[in-house]
Amino acid sequence: MIFVRVVDNKLDKAIRVLKKKMDKEGITSDLKKKRHFEKPSAQRRRKRAAALRRRRREQVNH
């Protein structure tokens, strides 16, 4: 559970802090992924492409 303290009725600042915490936890990306149904074949393709990008990045760095 994420908690954000609102100080002196500064809601704008509290919302910004909440969004940062949600991004750090990965909640926003999960919500975006689950917003629409993704076919299992498309999900496998996306995961395979992400793995390839990670491997290429590791090879470049080493």
Tell me: the pLDDT tens digits for 4-59?
Answer: 999 999 999 999 999 999 999 999 888 888 899 999 999 999 999 999 999 999 99
Question: pTM for the complete prediction?
Answer: 0.57
Torsion, Cα 26 29 32 37, to 10 degrees, reads -90
CA dist., res. 19 & res. 14, Å (int): 9
Query: Is 54 among the domain residues?
Result: yes
Overall number of domains in the chain: 1
What kind and span of H or E run contains 21? helix 11-25
Query: Is 5 among the domain residues?
Result: no
* Spatial contact of 4 and 14, defined as CB atoms under 8 Å apart: yes
Q: To 5 degrees, how large is the angle CA 41–CA 43–CA 37?
A: 95
Query: Is 57 among the domain residues?
Result: yes
Query: Is 33 among the domain residues?
Result: yes
Confidence category of residue 61, pLDDT binned at 50, 70, 90: confident
Query: Is 46 among the domain residues?
Result: yes
Question: Structural domain of residue 21, as residue ranges?
Answer: 11-61
Query: Is 3 among the domain residues?
Result: no
Query: Is 36 among the domain residues?
Result: yes
Query: Is 55 among the domain residues?
Result: yes
